Amino acid sequence: MKALQFKGYGKLRGNIFLGDVPKPQIREGQVLVQVHAASVNPVDYKIVNGNLKLLLRLKLPAVFGYDFAGVVTEAGNGVDHVKMGDTVYGSLPSISPGTFAEFAAVDADVVALKPKNLNFIEAACIPLVGLTTVQVFNKSNLKRGDKVLIHAGSGGIGTLAIQYAKAKGAFVYTTTSTQNTEWVKDLGADRVIDYKNEDYKKIAKDLDVVYDTLGGQYTLDAFDQVKPGGHVTSIAGGIDGETVKALGLPKIIQWILFFKGRKIRKRAEQKGAHYNYVLMDPNREQVEQLTALIQQGAIKPVLDKVYDLDDGVEALVHQQSGRAKGKIVIKMR
Ligand SMILES: NC(=O)c1ccc[n+]([C@@H]2O[C@H](COP(=O)([O-])OP(=O)(O)OC[C@H]3O[C@@H](n4cnc5c(N)ncnc54)[C@H](OP(=O)(O)O)[C@@H]3O)[C@@H](O)[C@H]2O)c1
């Protein structure tokens, strides 16, 4: 089968190539999915850049990609909630990427039936950003009426997170650049802040939740915007102590990561706010919660561009530009 792979760490062009690999064999509890579409996420280019070498040890050349939408063509023993011919979608665990390919062997635990009102390309936009968002807002104890700031409202995460937070009854502030403000408003955000011309710090204040998608100084500044007792939950800032332990990394790396998080811990303590880092963990029930919201019309995928598998490297280059307007998808069929 054809699969997008990378052969070395560094630049995308020159390391990523399309080649033939054996079709994966399924084990007990797995299904074989004929992948029709797979969306791209920043983690995919970060893996090729070598930024995640400490966390993820892959044998090169390696097939990569996490999100998938496709059709079950084989079901292993012990699989009961999906069968051959079902149309499905989901996201793989971080330790075992491999959906930028014509077929993927997937633990049935992370496979959910595709929403009836989405085609494969649209469905592929949802799982990783959707799961991350459900997990961020669960960690943040999101309640109806909460004031929430979602940074980067026009990105893959932001476009999904705005719609999810509105569906849960939150008041949503979001940031984006001038050219994106109008269409981001149409996603339901209550106050779209044009970060090129406005200072979000003066507008989004006394917040219950900051969903930090940018990291660095944005993570530290979030503690000025959040109320005492509020939540700063990051997917791009420093890893918290709980996540460091859960990753089971060597002690020295745990210690380095813990040391790096010291400024964030200090700011959280000074403010009396909660800080958590979320590392998305695939979960079928949460994908099914997203399916229900999609079928009710509360969440719609936002598609930037579709690339053929032959042009897969260009999809990754586009994602790495940092200017995606919603999701970028690779089409296999
Ligand atoms: N921990 C996890 O499990 C997890 C899961 C998913 C994602 N992530 C991380 O979360 C981050 C966001 O992911 P994503 O998929 O949303 O990325 P993305 O789609 O590449 O984000 C692109 C968007 O970011 C916006 N942006 C860039 N700089 C901005 C700024 N200073 N202020 C406001 N908006 C800005 C851009 O809008 P403009 O063009 O208008 O600036 C663009 O629309 C990435 O670092 C990713 O690796 C982590």
Pocket of ligand 1 from Cβ distances under 6 Å? 41-43, 128-129, 132, 151-152, 154-158, 175-177, 180, 195, 213-214, 235-236, 278-280, 319, 322-325
pLDDT number for residue 55 = 81
Q: Whose CA is nearest to atom 48 of ligand 1?
A: 235
For residues 329 and 39, the answer to whether their CB atoms sit within 8 Å is yes
pLDDT number for residue 65 = 98
The pair of structure tokens assigned to 176 is: 């984006």
Residue 294 lies in a domain: no
pLDDT number for residue 245 = 81
pLDDT single digits (tens) 257-299: 888 899 999 999 999 999 999 999 999 999 999 999 999 999 9
Tell me: do 175 and 241 sit in the same domain.
Answer: yes
Q: Which atom of ligand 1 is nearest to the CA of 154?
A: 43
Tell me: do 136 and 174 sit in the same domain.
Answer: yes
- In this predicted structure, the answer to whether residue 48 has a pLDDT above a threshold of 90 is yes
Tell me: do 143 and 257 sit in the same domain.
Answer: yes
pLDDT single digits (tens) 122-163: 999 999 999 999 999 999 999 999 999 999 999 999 999 999
- C-alpha to C-alpha distance for 310 and 287, rounded to whole angstroms: 29
pLDDT number for residue 151 = 98
For residues 298 and 255, the answer to whether their CB atoms sit within 8 Å is no
Residues recorded for the chain? 333
Tell me: do 161 and 255 sit in the same domain.
Answer: yes
- In this predicted structure, the answer to whether residue 251 has a pLDDT above a threshold of 90 is no
Mean pLDDT of the chain: 96
- In this predicted structure, the answer to whether residue 304 has a pLDDT above a threshold of 90 is yes
Average pLDDT over residues 314-319: 98
Residue 166 lies in a domain: yes
Q: Whose CA is nearest to atom 22 of ligand 1?
A: 155
What residues are paired with 251 via a beta bridge?
Answer: none
- In this predicted structure, the answer to whether residue 242 has a pLDDT above a threshold of 90 is no
Average pLDDT over residues 93-99: 95
- In this predicted structure, the answer to whether residue 53 has a pLDDT above a threshold of 90 is no
Give the confidence band of 252 by pLDDT, cuts at 50, 70, 90: confident
Residue 282 lies in a domain: no
Residue 64 lies in a domain: yes
Chain position carrying tokens 């303590």: 269
CATH number for the domain including 118?
Answer: 3.90.180.10
Among 39, 213, 243, 329, say which to mutate for ligand 1: greatest number of ligand atoms within 8 Å of CB: 213
- In this predicted structure, the answer to whether residue 190 has a pLDDT above a threshold of 90 is yes
Tell me: do 68 and 89 sit in the same domain.
Answer: yes
pLDDT number for residue 263 = 95
Residue 284 lies in a domain: no
pLDDT number for residue 250 = 83
pLDDT number for residue 258 = 85
Give the confidence band of 212 by pLDDT, cuts at 50, 70, 90: very high
Among 55, 132, 183, 235, say which to mutate for ligand 1: greatest number of ligand atoms within 8 Å of CB: 235
User: How far, in Å, is the centroid of ligand 1 from the Cα of 157?
Assistant: 7
- In this predicted structure, the answer to whether residue 198 has a pLDDT above a threshold of 90 is yes
The pair of structure tokens assigned to 128 is: 């990783």
Tell me: do 159 and 252 sit in the same domain.
Answer: yes
Tell me: do 75 and 11 sit in the same domain.
Answer: yes
User: How far, in Å, is the centroid of ligand 1 from the Cα of 41?
Assistant: 9
Q: Whose CA is nearest to atom 46 of ligand 1?
A: 42
pLDDT single digits (tens) 2-30: 999 999 999 999 999 999 999 999 999 99
Among 44, 45, 134, 177, say which to mutate for ligand 1: greatest number of ligand atoms within 8 Å of CB: 177
Residue 180 lies in a domain: yes
Among 154, 193, 278, say which to mutate for ligand 1: greatest number of ligand atoms within 8 Å of CB: 154
pLDDT number for residue 264 = 96
What is the extent of the structural domain holding 140?
Answer: 129-277
Tell me: do 210 and 307 sit in the same domain.
Answer: no
The pair of structure tokens assigned to 269 is: 């303590």
* Structural domain count, the chain: 2
Tell me: do 39 and 161 sit in the same domain.
Answer: no
Average pLDDT over residues 41-64: 94
3-state secondary structure the chain: CEEEEECCCCCCECCEEEEECCCCCCCCCEEEEEEEEEEECHHHHHHHHCCCCCCCCCCCCEECCCEEEEEEEEECCCCCCCCCCCEEEEECCCCCCCCCECEEEEEHHHEEECCCCCCHHHHHCCHHHHHHHHHHHHHCCCCCCCEEEECCCCCHHHHHHHHHHHHCCCEEEEEECHHHHHHHHCCCCCEEEECCCCCHHHHCCCEEEEEECCCCHHHHHHHHHEEEEEEEEECCCCCCHHHHHHCCCCHHHHHHHHHHCHHHHHHHHHHCCEEEECCCCCCHHHHHHHHHHHHCCCCCCCEEEEEEHHHHHHHHHHHHCCCCCCEEEEECC
The pair of structure tokens assigned to 225 is: 């915007």
Residue 316 lies in a domain: yes
pLDDT number for residue 249 = 81
Tell me: do 139 and 239 sit in the same domain.
Answer: yes
CATH number for the domain including 215?
Answer: 3.40.50.720
Residue 310 lies in a domain: yes
- Of all residues in the chain, the percent with pLDDT exceeding 70 is 100
Domain boundary pick from 277, 293, 319: 277
Average pLDDT over residues 97-108: 98
Residue 175 φ then ψ, to 5°: -115, 145
Tell me: do 95 and 170 sit in the same domain.
Answer: no
Tell me: do 193 and 317 sit in the same domain.
Answer: no
